[in-house]
Structure 1
Amino acid sequence: MPRATLADVAAAAGVSVPTVSKVLSGKKHVSAATRDKVLEAVRTAGYEAPRPATAPRVGVVDLLIDGLGSPWAQVLISGAEKAAARWGFSLVVTSSARSDFDLRRWIGMVRKRNTDGIVLVLSRADQREIAAIEELLHVPLVLLDPVGQRDPRLSTVGATNWLGGVMATTHLLELGHTRIAFIGGPLDTQCTLDRYEGYLAAHRTFGIDSDPALTRYGDFLVGSGRAYGGEMLDRDDPPTAVFAGNDLQAAGVYQAATERGLRVPDDLSVVGFDDSLLCETLSPPLTTVRQPLDDMANEAVRLVYEELTHPKGASGTRIELATTLIVRRSTAPHVRR
């Protein structure tokens, strides 16, 4: 079967060849409807952008991440940088959280300078955006800490979020807490759903009903931990423990407790998730579920290397690394008052 050409894509989309070229190069001045038609035609026709016959490596891996400021992101970027050096690459980091970030322009820029592979860490990327990156750049693509429903065609590296939720909640239940709040990240992120399912599973194991009124979904930031933590601590029947979706939200719960004259862990036990650098700076140090972020970053870059060396088939590689409960001083046995 002959290889699809730009003319084939243009005919299928009902546009001109220059319009197709604009879409594929990430240029502006193309309507969203036209862009969608061209991308659909690219998929249908199986068009692949021409690359040099030997596809020489350029020694660069791109990391596109939706924020640089959180402790979680800092550890992840540091791990990715070390991993890139280990596997013979330089790392180019781009934040999609910038107010001037434009995915189409970024794709066009990467096409011009070339890259050996891309690691995506995006909490809000939809499948169309991911498909556009994969189809227009034609390099190994790995999702790190993937969100949303997993596409079996893509390679992913994550952590055992469900087991982490089980361990965090089991720890609190073993300390005698039965009113345990869950403050998660956005409801549409897979890691939040997995951690919440682990929270529910631990309750079932202990034969204790979880209270739906003690569940909230935030944005993985300090503010949501403080707001939702305060909201639940103000109830007539407040929780005696909180399992937070990440360490930043746990820090917000600390703030809410302090504002109400409550002490951690004497009056409220708190468990976070990630084991970021923040944990040791909180007072008391935070009990949390450790994600092996360094190892996750290394595996993501290694998968790029492996797919360059041995191109994957129709199915991507899925890797889940173990989470670990790190017990510090923010949890204590429940004392009935």
Structure 2
Amino acid sequence: MPSRSHRTTLATVAASAGLSVATVSKVLNGRSDVAPATRSRVQSLLVEHGYIPRLSHRNQAAGSATIEVWVDGKLSAYATEIIKGAIEAGAESEVAVVVTHLKAGNDTSWVRDLVTAGRRAMITLACEPTAAHLAALSLAQLPVVVVDPMNPPVTPMTSVGSTNFAGGLSATQHLLALGHRRIAYLGGPADAASNQARMQGYRAAMETAGVPVPPEYVRTAGFCYPDGVGEAIALLDLPSPPTAVFAVSDECAIAAMQVARNRGLRIPEDLSVVGFDDTEIATMTSPQLTTVRQPLREMGMVALRTALRLASGEKIESHHIELATELVIRESSLAA
């Protein structure tokens, strides 16, 4: 990350504009008593110099404390549960939570807006800050907490997740205990850390039981319903299709159930299905979904509290926090 010696100051911007530091400060703080042409020139120079203000004590006042939550793409049932937890923990601490979309690209001018708006810290969900994001946030002294990181971090960062390997292991062991041997893994993105851990849990259970895994039984796509549809079709088209499917998410599991129904198969008599997450949709389908419960709301709460601790300058015990998963057995799984 950039060192403090690389930091652009207001004085640098003011000198390049031929203006006083006070005038540049007025533009930065949104004051109206600056000529439009001057305001435009200063704003351009702020971007050109990559100026990033530090969080001031004024912005850290308890009454105006706000945490920014970044999400990427649509608000899925998974993301919504985590956000609910962050909002609940924020209410307990009298902190506001603002949800917005991930800022793409390497332009870091948005960091100035965060500081000016009084943000204390940032939580990212279903997306990860780039090296440029982390460098800009570090200069602004805005801490970041990543929920369920998609990839192993290339730079030190604080994260909150769950025991994905243990969850994959317990889901597969459950299906094995029911007598299934043709068990497929309907997975997420190949390079996603959570997908890799769940898949390794699946493979470990199968290997321990002495059950071979045909290469075509392991699929990688995404975490959402459309991803699950395509891969479930591929699995059920196999000459020897599985009698059970462990899916990387509840959405993919429900997609597999629908694909099976479209072919006249019964759930769970003809195909047992286990998901991962235990979102609200797991109990809205018929039959209700057996799934691995991630403590999603608790993950959001822990992320919010950790972000506040970092913003207050506290030292935390670990830079990665894992909460326990739990298998929830419902009606979508049955003995072979």
TM-score (norm 1): 0.81
Instruction: Within 5 Å, give how 1:76-155 maps onto structure 2.
Output: 76-96=82-102, 104=108, 106-123=110-127, 125=128, 127-151=130-154, 153-155=156-158
Question: Residue 258 of structure 1 corresponds to which residue in structure 2?
Answer: 261
Q: Which amino acid aligns with 1:159?
A: S
Match of 2:227 among 212, 221, 224: 224
Question: Residue 331 of structure 2 corresponds to which residue in structure 1?
Answer: 329
Sort the Cα spacing of 1:69 and 1:223 in 2 relative to 1 into closer, same or farther, 3 A.
Answer: same
Check whether the contact 2:162–2:294 (CA below 8 A) recurs between aligned residues: yes
- Whole-Å separation in 1 of the counterparts to 2:287 and 2:167: 21
Is residue 284 of structure 1 aligned with residue 287 of structure 2? yes
Sort the Cα spacing of 1:217 and 1:113 in 2 relative to 1 into closer, same or farther, 3 A.
Answer: same
| Greater mean deviation of Cα atoms: 126-135 or 146-155 | 126-135
Bigger Rg, which one: 2
- Whole-Å separation in 2 of the counterparts to 1:62 and 1:51: 14
The number of residue pairs the alignment matches comes to 308
Shift of 1:223: 1.2
Check whether the contact 1:169–1:199 (CA below 8 A) recurs between aligned residues: yes
Instruction: Within 5 Å, give how 1:284-323 maps onto structure 2.
Output: 284-312=287-315, 317-323=319-325
Shift of 1:274: 0.3
- Whole-Å separation in 1 of the counterparts to 2:71 and 2:107: 12
TM-score (norm 2): 0.81
Shift of 1:103: 6.8
Sort the Cα spacing of 1:2 and 1:117 in 2 relative to 1 into closer, same or farther, 3 A.
Answer: closer
Task: Provide, for residues 76-104 of structure 1, a one-character-per-residue CA deviation record: whole Å limited to 9, x for no partner.
Answer: 1111111111122011111339xx99974
Report sequence identity in percent: 33
Task: Provide, for residues 272-305 of structure 1, a one-character-per-residue CA deviation record: whole Å limited to 9, x for no partner.
Answer: 0000000111110000000001111111011112
SS at match of 2:119: coil
Is residue 66 of structure 1 aligned with residue 55 of structure 2? no
SS at match of 1:305: helix
Question: Residue 13 of structure 1 corresponds to which residue in structure 2?
Answer: none
Match of 1:6 among 5, 8, 22: 8
Check whether the contact 2:168–2:201 (CA below 8 A) recurs between aligned residues: yes
- Whole-Å separation in 1 of the counterparts to 2:301 and 2:131: 26
Sort the Cα spacing of 1:129 and 1:241 in 2 relative to 1 into closer, same or farther, 3 A.
Answer: farther
SS at match of 2:80: helix
Is residue 210 of structure 1 aligned with residue 219 of structure 2? no
- Whole-Å separation in 1 of the counterparts to 2:88 and 2:4: 42
Task: Provide, for residues 165-190 of structure 1, a one-character-per-residue CA deviation record: whole Å limited to 9, x for no partner.
Answer: 00111101111111111111111210
CA RMSD of aligned residues (A): 3.4
Task: In structure 2, list runs of 5 or more residues that go unmatched.
Answer: 18-23, 30-41
Check whether the contact 2:55–2:118 (CA below 8 A) recurs between aligned residues: no
SS at match of 2:239: coil
SS at match of 1:116: strand
Q: Which amino acid aligns with 2:214?
A: D
Q: Which amino acid aligns with 1:321?
A: L
Is residue 168 of structure 1 aligned with residue 174 of structure 2? no
